[in-house]
Structure 1
Amino acid sequence: MKKRYILLVGIWCIIIFAFASSRFYNGENTLMYIQILFGLDYNQAEIVNMLVRKGAHVCIFGTLAVIVYFLLKRRFLFLPWGITTLFAIADEYNQSLVPGRTALASDVLLDSLAAFLFLLVARRFTADKKTKHLTF
């Protein structure tokens, strides 16, 4: 079972880096496609674009944190949170090296917060008598 989680973490991290390394998945392109697909003016599309992009950050890094949490057999909260936050920093650094992409500290903060919140939810729904006493 542990091998599956290691494989899943590896695949998830590769997917994140693949998207971050692509010049195609930048704010300008997604904004353009949102305008075309939904027929929105620039200001409306900009709001939708921001919500979609930040929502993706929340889901992607929250999920990564939960996968790492299960890899560590639900014994820790801060370790998967720290690992996910370090990966978010590496992801933003990677983005800074890609032409047409920008790295934002606010994205790292959002990723870290999302990871922590997802971990709290995972802990709440997976806590049993054996692990309930382990808070953080």
Structure 2
Amino acid sequence: MRLVLNLIWLVLCGLWMAIGYTIAALVCFILIITIPFGIASLRIANYALWPFGRTVVDDPEAGAPSLVGNVLWVVFAGWWLAIGHLVTGFLLCLTIIGIPLGLANFKLIPVSLLPLGKQIVPAP
């Protein structure tokens, strides 16, 4: 079932959301000081491509720098990506087949807003 959902996800919205995260990462890499944000953005792009069967957990080693970084991320890039997930999730929920995909989009909103200090792990 996860494979089917991931394939439908990839075609309907996963590829476009991953492209958005990759563009954000490239901008972060250009600005050199924001390279940690770019790495986090690429990690989420990978998750946005294939979300079913994986989950996001808090990194136990994350500290105050992650908090400061997340505040900066929300101001400069996070809210754009969260709006993308919100709009895409709403549109997917308009169809019966798209409801699980829309819910997965809503599940990605918190990690798109606060990506630092998170790990993506296989779901139990």
Per the normalisation by structure 1, the TM-score is: 0.35
Q: Which has the higher strand share?
A: 2
- Please identify the structure whose Cα radius of gyration is greater: 1
